[in-house]
Amino acid sequence: MTATTEGACEYGLFPIATKTLCDGSPPDVEIFLKGGKGARPTLFHKRGTPLDQPALERLLDNGVRTLYVSSAEIDQYNDYLLAEVMANEDRPPLERFELLRDASQSVVLNAMVSGHAESVLQVTGEFAERLVDVIWDRQVVLMDLFGVMAHDYTTFTHASNVSTYCLILAEALGIRSAQQLVSIAQGGLLHDLGKRHVPKKILNKKSQLSETEWREMQKHPTLGFQELCGQDDVDLGQLMMVYQHHERWDGKGYPVGIPAEETHLWARICAVVDAFDALTTDRPYRRGYVAENAINYLDMQAGKSFDPEIVRCWIAILKENS
């Protein structure tokens, strides 16, 4: 959980992306601004009054990316987001992709960190539908899209990057059904859900994990699977993305050690882009690889860790759009 989210929860406030308030009529909610650490929130926008756009611009210029609404009014804000922001055909798809990502960050992150399985599924399902809508239906130019992918590693950016990449790769591999693409995008968001049951000190450890810690970490696919398998609206492919994304082509992965041909296609897709995102994003202890080095790594691991055909396809996409 991010510091801003933790701080907001204290006052029953929910973080929202400042950018989603630019243009258009404001949502019918009170909007709060929070100063430094420990500061009390102050009212920034009173319900029913015009939104002070110059003040909003100043906040953005000063790097204030998060404002807050009361948890009781989050539904009104989400309605506004759907009607005014995401459904606005005048916005270019790429801008809507960025907005979707920024706007969903706190909602998805909150659900993924502490929500019940049902709320996680609802929130990630909505995100996946909008993602497919923005990326697939409206054909964002991939070259532009790769340019705006997040490179700072957080639970949300990793999940959202993997989800976006899974969608692009699945489509390139010939999956055309919109329903399946939504499922895959949602599976990508959910793939590491089990990590919320892994102690934070293990997840955030900067040095090498001990054998015991590594065993704990390796439980996350099973933990995620167990959490989701009781839900009626999860399909087999999504469950396999969660359960099998650390299986390897040569059968040396975990949790089952199952080889390539027995692993679900969606899980093999997820495995490739999961590794790609893990390599290319910055971590507190190392800079992310440049795409070329990540490509070399994937190429080297094709037929060992990863399905070689899927790697070939992903590399072709990356090269075409670099």
Partner 1 sequence: MLDCDSQREQLETAIRGLKCLLSLPPEYTGDVLGDVQMPSVPGCERRFSRIYCPGPLVPAGFRYQPSIAAVAREPEWYRVYMVNLSRGGLQILHHEQVFPGEHFEIGLLDGSRRLCRAAWCHYLNHCCYRVGAAFVKESSEASAAD
Q: Which residues bind partner 1 (CB under 8 A)?
A: 215, 218-219, 222, 225-226, 229-230, 232, 234-236, 238-239, 243, 251, 254-259, 261-262
Residue 92 Cβ, how far from Fe ion at the closest point, in Å?
Answer: 29
Contact of residue 192 among Fe ion, partner 1, none (CB under 5-8 Å per partner type): Fe ion
**Residue placing its CB nearer to Fe ion in the complex, 93 or 188:** 188
Sign for the pseudo-dihedral over CA of 284, 285, 290, 293: negative
Distance in Å, CB of 274 to Fe ion, minimum: 4
Cα three-residue angle 242-247-248, rounded to 5 degrees = 145
C-alpha span between 91 and 104 (Å, rounded): 17
Closest contact distance (angstroms) between CB of 109 and Fe ion is: 15
Which of the stretches 1-9, 166-174, 190-198, 206-214 binds Fe ion when contact is defined by CB under 5 A?
Answer: 190-198
Q: How far is the CB of 229 from partner 1 (least distance, A)?
A: 5
- Please name the residue that has the structure tokens 């590794």: 275
Helical (H) or strand (E) element with 92: none
Binding segment (CB under 5 A) for Fe ion, from list 44-52, 178-186, 273-281, 308-316: 273-281
- Contact of 103 with 17, CB cutoff 8 Å: yes
Choices 5-13, 26-34, 253-261, 270-278 (CB under 5 A): range interacting with Fe ion: 270-278
Taking alpha carbons only, the member of 27, 148, 131, 14 closest to residue 70 is 14
Cα 72 to Cα 2, 90, 125, 237, distances in angstroms:
21, 30, 22, 35
Q: Which of 98, 192, 227, 307 binds Fe ion (CB under 5 A)?
A: 192
Which run of H or E residues covers position 209?
A: none
Which residues does 179 contact at the CB level (< 8 Å), separation at least 6?
none
Residue 274 near Fe ion by CB under 5 A: yes
Mapping DSSP to helix (H, G, I), strand (E, B) and coil, where does residue 222 land? Answer: helix
Say which entry of Fe ion, partner 1, none residue 321 contacts (CB below 5 to 8 A, set by partner kind): none
* Stretch of 35-43, 185-193, 225-233, 236-244 contacting Fe ion, by CB under 5 A: 185-193
Residue 243 binds which one of Fe ion, partner 1, none, with CB within 5 to 8 A depending on kind?
partner 1
Q: How far is the CB of 2 from Fe ion (least distance, A)?
A: 18
- What's the Cα-to-Cα distance from 169 to each of 51, 95, 163, 266, 271, rounded to whole Å? 41, 21, 10, 10, 11
Cβ atoms within 10 Å of 79's Cβ, excluding its own: 13
90 or 261: whose CB is closer to partner 1? 261
Q: Which of 273, 179, 197 is nearest to 235 (CA)?
A: 179
Nearest approach, Cβ of residue 306 and Fe ion (Å): 14
Interaction between residue 307 and Fe ion (CB under 5 A): no
Q: Is 102 in the site for Fe ion (CB under 5 A)?
A: no
Main-chain phi, psi angles of 206, to 5 degrees: -90, -25
Of 7 and 253, nearer to partner 1 (C-beta) is 253
Residue 84 tokens read as 């005014």
Question: Which of Fe ion, partner 1, none does 274 bind, CB closer than 5 to 8 A by kind?
Answer: Fe ion
- Interface positions with Fe ion (CB under 5 A): 192, 274
